[in-house]
Amino acid sequence: MPVEIFMPKLGMSMEEGTIVEWLKKKGDPVKKGESVVVISSDKIEKDIEAPEDGVLLEILAEQDETVAVGKVIGYISQKNEVERDQSTTTMKQANLEAAISVETMKPLEAVRRKPRVSPAARKLALEAGIDLNSISGSGPQGRITRADIEKAIQAKRSGSDLQRKKQLEIATMQQKTNNHTGVTVKPITGIRKVIATRMFTSLQQTAQLSIHMRADVTELLEIQKKVRADFLDEHGVKLTITDFIARATILALLAHKQMNSIYQDEHIHTYDSVHLGIAVALENGLIVPVISHAEKLSVKEISAKIKNLSLRAKEGNLESEEMKGSTFTITSLGAYGVEFFTPVLNPPEVGILGVGTVTDTPVFVGDVVQRRSLLPLSLTFDHRVIDGVPASKFLSTIKDYLEKPYKMLI
């Protein structure tokens, strides 16, 4: 019996998946545990392994096709089963060809009768090149009239006009293509398609507003440098400024719980615990692994968690449950030299923090100009849930923690 390959359920909320790529072709041998097909959900891409040794007998869902969870996408069969199926198919084909041969030897049982046509209709049909056998007469006893021929001529002209129009459209498209060399066109699929849909939906269905501030992280960078080596030697953890930003954000969310919310089904769900999403850039898109109950973690534990999730995200080893349930997200473009930008909300969350690159800037401290390190922060929030003033207070609290880093360590 052929073994079925199903579209798996990678998470509780997954209802369908997309075929990203078949790693094997129909007829290829496969071994149990060998990757056969790559599928993607709205969160992750995953290789599906062969459940048994054998041959990939049939592919039922092609690349880029979306399939419901639990539906069969292919079959694996033993080699002897394939040979038996091929033998049966050959026999059926031979029997069919024999039947056709016998049938063609039978005399025609009936001869097509000549249609009844009026002389005027016959003459008009001959001039217009209309096949009388293709016309159903509207006259008495099915007699073909001049009106029937005129209708057939009009239909023929309409068909010719439509064909010429299609040919013109094709020629126009080919001309445009010829005028632009070096163009590669490919459909949006997999994670890229999911991101495109989610971002477009986010902008359409939320009232997004962004505000910006700069935090003076001069002292924070000094502390980071001092403790970095000690933490690396003692705990194997390399502290980064992102770790401190995450900690400051968590503390600010605890102080401003309205921001630690989601907007769903016209209800605001406000959380006591912080489930922090950290955006991770991949080659083919962006995913957001989640640090659950982040308020219970120290800076060291946050750092270890961020690095572990980021590494496994890039290796494609995250579980679906590790990318669900976030109440707030941090995304950063600082490593790419970007200062301020406008992050797009990750629905159903009502807030997302964008982090830019640290820039050394001359700043007046009293009457003295000093070189200070400034960190750009961009907060996007859903105005349906939060107004500008409480959002500004939340961002100011993050800024305060970053500028007075000792408060995060108490």
CATH code of residue 42 = 2.40.50.100
Q: Containing domain of residue 132, as a range?
A: 119-179
pLDDT digits (tens, 9 = 90+) for 246-255: 999 999 999 9
pLDDT digits (tens, 9 = 90+) for 60-78: 988 878 888 889 999 898 6
Residues 129 and 238 both lie in one domain? no
Residue 239 or 359, more confident: 359
Structure token digits, residue 133: 């056998």
Of the three residues 80, 98, 127, the one that is the final residue of a domain is 80
Residues 385 and 249 both lie in one domain? yes
Q: CB under 8 Å to 55, separation ≥6 — which residues?
A: 27, 28, 29, 30, 76, 77, 78, 79, 82
Residues 392 and 260 both lie in one domain? yes
The number of folded domains in the chain is 3
Banded pLDDT at 291 (limits 50, 70, 90)? very high
Residue 90 lies in a domain: no
Structure token digits, residue 101: 């041969």
d(CA 94, CA 78): 25
| Mean pLDDT of the 334-361 span | 95
Residue 66 lies in a domain: yes
Question: In this structure, what are the phi and psi dihedrals at residue 329, rounded to the nearest 5 degrees?
Answer: -130, 145
Report the catalytic residues.
383, 387
Could you tell me if residue 39 is left (phi over 0), alpha (psi between -120 and 50 degrees) or otherwise beta? Answer: beta
Q: Which residue, 375, 363, 379, is CA-closest to 403?
A: 375
Residue 251 lies in a domain: yes
pLDDT greater than 90 at residue 168: no
The pLDDT of residue 185: 78
Lowest mean pLDDT among 19-28, 79-88, 190-199: 79-88
Mean pLDDT score across all residues of the chain: 84
Residues 198 and 160 both lie in one domain? no
Residue 362 or 171, more confident: 362
Q: CB under 8 Å to 271, separation ≥6 — which residues?
A: 257, 260, 261, 262, 327
Residue 315 or 336, more confident: 336
Banded pLDDT at 233 (limits 50, 70, 90)? low
Residues 284 and 355 both lie in one domain? yes
Residue 108 lies in a domain: no
The pLDDT of residue 111: 43
